[in-house]
Chains A and B, each alone.
Chain A
Amino acid sequence: MQREKVVLITGTRKGIGRELALFYLGKGYTVVGCSRKEVDFFDDHYSHFCLDVCDEKSVISMVRQVAKKYGRIDVLINNAGMASMNHVLLTPYSTIKKIFDTNVYGTMLFTREVAKVMMKSKKGRIVNFTTVATALRLEGESVYAASKAAVLNFTEVTARELAPYGITVNAVGPTPVMTDLIKAVPKNKINDLIDRQAIKRLGVFDDIKNVVDFFVQDSSDFVTAQTIFLGGVNN
């Protein structure tokens, strides 16, 4: 029996990506994930690739294998990301490069390769990850925020480029959610950030799943080039 949808999610080992993988498995979808290390969950309808999202050869090979096996990819969720909360004066070049490699180039590579598969079915959904830190021009996160600004703009332009093929491209911009990504950020910094939201609370996984799943719906085929920031934040 063919499962409902084939969803490719990057960064499924932990945090939001893991939650999204379990969420879509729960909905009866086939999920293919990747991260540099192995995952700790098992499901007959989940397969995992250990790779770095900015390694072009591995990305091409993964996407080809998935396309061969399932004949299509319905949804791509470019979730893999890394942050470095640091003043620009204290940020090493190696960190700058790693952040752009993962957040920007990884998103670009997966978009390019998966869109080639989606265009054959003349439909597809791509969801990218930005952050409220971009919208808020958050001090202490200049490189991370800039990388996610790139993702935001990339979302808007690729939405136009891929529209003729029936592929929508949108982005979600979460507020802080308790994952390893922000565990090193001091509590007062998080509280300052939350204070700038219209709704002043931490985000939870369900907030993100809700927005991602809205973009993924078949009925969202007229929604593209949009970014939804959570918590009442505007760009």
Chain B
Amino acid sequence: MNKEDVKEVIVGALSEYLDMKGINSEVNEHTVLIGTNAVLDSIGLVTVIVEIENMLEEKDIEVSLTSEKAMSSAISPFRSVGALVNFVYDQINEGNAA
């Protein structure tokens, strides 16, 4: 899976969630996922992360986004869509997929 494909999955999961919640916000790699300017609240972030895992799993890519690496990293991979794309892409390609 290349980076564009990963981005498509992440943007897809996020857009779907925002649509469902009636939140009107453009989604691109700069979209902020945590902190004060985030488009999501904490439960929203949890839901989207699990949804991304599920969507990847449907493509037979098993990756755990709740790894210790993700949770303990000094700069959170969940800070923006772009950061998350890089993180997921690395997880898949480092063979860290669970």
State whether A64 and B50 are in contact (beta carbons under 8 Å apart), knowing that A57-B98, A164-B43 are contacts in the complex: no
Check if B54 sits within 8 Å of A120, measured CB to CB. yes
Check if B98 sits within 8 Å of A116, measured CB to CB. no
CB distance from B58 to the nearest CB of A (A): 10
Q: Which residues of A contact B98 (CB under 8 A)?
A: 57, 60
1/0 per residue, CB under 8 A from A, across B38-50: the answer is: 0000010001001
1/0 per residue, CB under 8 A from B, across A103-129: the answer is: 000000000000010011000000000
Alpha-carbon separation in the docked complex, A74 to B49 (Å)? 22
- Total residues of chain B contacting the partner, CB 8 A: 9
Q: Which residues of B contact A (CB under 8 A)?
A: 43, 47, 50, 53-54, 57, 62, 64, 98
Q: Which residues of B contact A116 (CB under 8 A)?
A: 50, 53-54
Q: Can you list the 5 inter-chain pairs with the closest CB atoms, starting with the nearest?
A: A116-B50, A164-B43, A60-B98, A119-B50, A120-B54
Q: Which residues of A contact B54 (CB under 8 A)?
A: 116, 120
CB distance from A166 to the nearest CB of B (A): 12
Check if A64 sits within 8 Å of B57, measured CB to CB. yes
CB distance from B46 to the nearest CB of A (A): 8
Q: Which residues of B contact A164 (CB under 8 A)?
A: 43
Could you list 11 further interchain pairs (A-B, Cβ under 8 angstroms) beyond the known A64-B57, A119-B50?
A57-B98, A60-B64, A60-B98, A64-B62, A116-B50, A116-B53, A116-B54, A119-B47, A120-B54, A164-B43, A165-B47
Q: Which residues of B contact A64 (CB under 8 A)?
A: 57, 62
1/0 per residue, CB under 8 A from B, across A42-85: the answer is: 00000000000000010010001000000000000000000000
Alpha-carbon separation in the docked complex, A120 to B16 (Å)? 13
Within 8 A of B (CB), among A138-156: none
Alpha-carbon separation in the docked complex, A57 to B57 (Å)? 15
* 13 pairs, CB–CB < 8 Å, chain A vs chain B: A57-B98, A60-B64, A60-B98, A64-B57, A64-B62, A116-B50, A116-B53, A116-B54, A119-B47, A119-B50, A120-B54, A164-B43, A165-B47
